Structure 1
Amino acid sequence: MSTRRLLVLPHLNIHNANALSSPYTIGFPAMTAWLGFVHALERKLQAAGYPTLKLVATGVFSHRCDLQTYQGPGDFVHSIIGTANPLDKDGKRSAFIEEARCHLDVSLLIEYRAAASELDRVERPEFIQLLDRLLNRMKVAGGDLLGFNEPKMTAVDDRDDKAVRSLILSLMPGFALIERRELMQQAMAEGADALDALLEHLTIHHSCTQDESDQVTWHRQRKVGNEGEKLGWIVPIATGFQGISELGEAKNQRDSDTPHRFAESVVTLGEFKMAHRIRHLDEVLWHYHADLGSNLYLCQQAQLETTTNNDGFY
């Protein structure tokens, strides 16, 4: 039997998070933002007296995502709702770059590990109090953390279906973000370009039929999954970066001791899945994965650990 120790950060209320998840997608923040926040929390906890504590995997459950856009009457496209900068010394509006923002209500499910001598300290009330102090001073996905429910510590056996289901259902109502890279892999194996494979699963086709009485009926259709699977809420998600230059040094780089390289965003398909449809923890937990042979620095899910072919990205 395998016991997994989990930290639940319920209902993080985040204001003005970065919704520009990649250079060409807008919406829910990138997975690198969520794992980056958890990594920053791990470093703060280690510095606060828990040196062996590791936050090894993270599940993201979205309860609300309010994208700050506006669509006027008769408009076809949405416009970003920007914030106004203060007037300059001449009383004119200074130039600014439009930033896509969103307000979020998100819960995080974090698997942690620590040395046996430290586990007892982690599960004491003092640790929850430390978490409370640290979280109140942190940013999440570039946004301000306005509030959150009390963090919870729990341990479940991942073979105990009842215990796992009870934990997941405690995060209802909400949508778990899972990776659906295999949808793009299948389309690309059939000869589709990466961008075409991405758009093919996001496009909604409209068609109409006319009966003998001239009654017109409209139909909406999306691409189905494998073996006729009806796909859920499929979205493009940014899951990491791919290096586009050799490792080396760059002028004025921030860290002179770490090799530098230029990189571009990696985007694939994901699905927001209702929490009550989750059966196993590995369906929702994300972790870092580096494929140095392909210059990929990814956030991926545990069930993809054995994947050797990393096609399925744009």
Structure 2
Amino acid sequence: MPNESPDFNHLLVLPRLRIQNANAISSPLTWGFPSITAFTGLMHALQRRLGDQTPFEFRSVGVICHDLQAQVADQKHEISFNQTRNPVDKDGSTSAIVEEGRVHLDLTLVFGLRVAGMAHADPVALQQQARHMAEVLAGMRVAGGSVMPALSLSPRQTEPALLPWPLHYQLDEQARAWRRLSRRWLPGFALVARDELLASRLADLRAEAPEATLLDAWLDTAALTQRARRIKTPDDTEQIEWQIERPPGWIVPIPVGYAALSALHEAGAVARARDGGTSLRFVESVYSLGQWISPHRLRDATELMWWPDHDPATGLYRCRNAYRPPAPPPESAPTDLVDTLDDPDSPFHYV
């Protein structure tokens, strides 16, 4: 059974990381933003870099994107990646160009940690630990990209933090603390899982075509669909108007892990393996749907986090997220803008 939620008692916040030339090709079928597996891999790599003596155990990671600049060229309605010229071979011939997609990112990374023996650590000691881990990560690759200094931001905006979480407060005080923390990441968008949208779209397709598959639902959701609509003009003539169907929210297709294609091979059994001391198996990508959502729309830190999960019975390696969409408003909910402004729980309420 998959784990339903991540297990952590501290948050490591690394705000406003500038990542240069990260990998923009996240899977064989998607591009634009690195796969979430790149950040869970970074989490494990940082754990190993810190060594066995560290009291921190990395359990999950959350990603907030503040800016994205894909390194592409748009010519004659065709988008292509900007490529680099590789050095010539030993015989002087031109090296083959392997297509690489690159993107510059401005990210905030939030790690969920299990910390042993530091439940009542001094805040100064926690801050020192946060700075040390930020320095270690600055020398690593993030989704294949290099960590660059944020020259245009103040030190306060880029200061890392290690916070006990959940806070030992009353629930209302803890909710206020989360709201203050999440609003520090604005403007920005957090990536969360929306697996239920894929199941819902599959049910809609099968109502019309019973042979529809999950792949059909995934492709249909990811596609840009235009439909024609007849409209009447003031002179009683009909015209055709094309409208783009956009699902509510910023829904995107994403890879979420891998599915096994073979049995688990013993270490050294496969020739030319990258790591001869680790067992391996052949896999293919697993896809789902995600959504970019403003961090202040999340109810708590758990909804932000992604964590790796493995099912030995099926050979499924995938990343999971505990985000749950809010319940639809009741029919009596105010629909007028004036009513919304008067609602004290509304984010637009004026005090």
TM-score bucket of the superposed structures, by smaller chain:
0.7 to 0.9
Q: Does 1:233 align with 2:243?
A: no
**Helix, strand or coil at the partner of 2:18:** strand
- Residue 99 of structure 2 corresponds to 98
Cα shift at 1:103 = 0.6
Equivalent of 1:70 in 53, 73, 76: 73
Q: Does 1:185 align with 2:199?
A: yes
TM-superposition CA deviations, 1:134-176 (whole Å, max 9, x none): 1221110001111252211223437421111111111111000
- Residue 41 of structure 2 corresponds to 36
Q: Does 1:220 align with 2:244?
A: yes
TM-superposition CA deviations, 1:158-198 (whole Å, max 9, x none): 74211111111111110000011111123335453122111
- Residue 294 of structure 1 corresponds to 314
CA distance in structure 1 between the aligned counterparts of 2:119 and 2:181, rounded to whole angstroms: 24
1:154–1:27 CA distance, 2 compared to 1 (3 A): same
Q: Does 1:54 align with 2:57?
A: yes
- Residue 9 of structure 1 corresponds to 14
**Helix, strand or coil at the partner of 2:192:** strand
CA contact (8 A) 1:157 1:164 kept: no
**Helix, strand or coil at the partner of 2:39:** helix
TM-superposition CA deviations, 1:213-245 (whole Å, max 9, x none): 35654422234xxxxxxx211111111111100
In the TM superposition, what are the counterparts of 1:138-287 in structure 2 within 5 Å?
Answer: 138-147=140-149, 149-157=158-166, 159=171, 160-189=174-203, 190=206, 191=210, 192-206=212-226, 207-212=228-233, 213=235, 214=237, 217-223=241-247, 231-248=248-265, 249-287=269-307
Gaps of 5+ in 2: 1-6, 151-157, 325-351
Gaps of 5+ in 1: 224-230, 305-314
CA contact (8 A) 2:252 2:290 kept: yes
In the TM superposition, what are the counterparts of 1:119-138 in structure 2 within 5 Å?
Answer: 120=121, 123-138=125-140
CA distance in structure 2 between the aligned counterparts of 1:291 and 1:129, rounded to whole angstroms: 35
Cα shift at 1:93 = 3.7
TM-superposition CA deviations, 1:242-276 (whole Å, max 9, x none): 11001123123344443221011111110111122
**Helix, strand or coil at the partner of 1:293:** coil
CA contact (8 A) 1:202 1:222 kept: no
CA distance in structure 1 between the aligned counterparts of 2:132 and 2:302, rounded to whole angstroms: 28
**Helix, strand or coil at the partner of 2:273:** coil
CA contact (8 A) 1:156 1:164 kept: no
The structure that has the greater radius of gyration is 2
CA distance in structure 2 between the aligned counterparts of 1:24 and 1:295, rounded to whole angstroms: 21
CA distance in structure 2 between the aligned counterparts of 1:135 and 1:33, rounded to whole angstroms: 14
1:3–1:67 CA distance, 2 compared to 1 (3 A): closer
- Residue 155 of structure 2 corresponds to none
Q: Size of the alignment, in residue pairs?
A: 292
CA distance in structure 1 between the aligned counterparts of 2:12 and 2:315, rounded to whole angstroms: 32
Give the AA of the match of 2:56: L
CA distance in structure 2 between the aligned counterparts of 1:20 and 1:121, rounded to whole angstroms: 42
The percent of aligned pairs where both chains have the same amino acid is 36
Q: State the superposition RMSD in angstroms.
A: 2.5
**TM score, norm. by length of structure 1:** 0.84
**TM score, norm. by length of structure 2:** 0.76
TM-superposition CA deviations, 1:93-128 (whole Å, max 9, x none): 421111111110010111111211587389444323
1:186–1:210 CA distance, 2 compared to 1 (3 A): closer
1:113–1:121 CA distance, 2 compared to 1 (3 A): farther
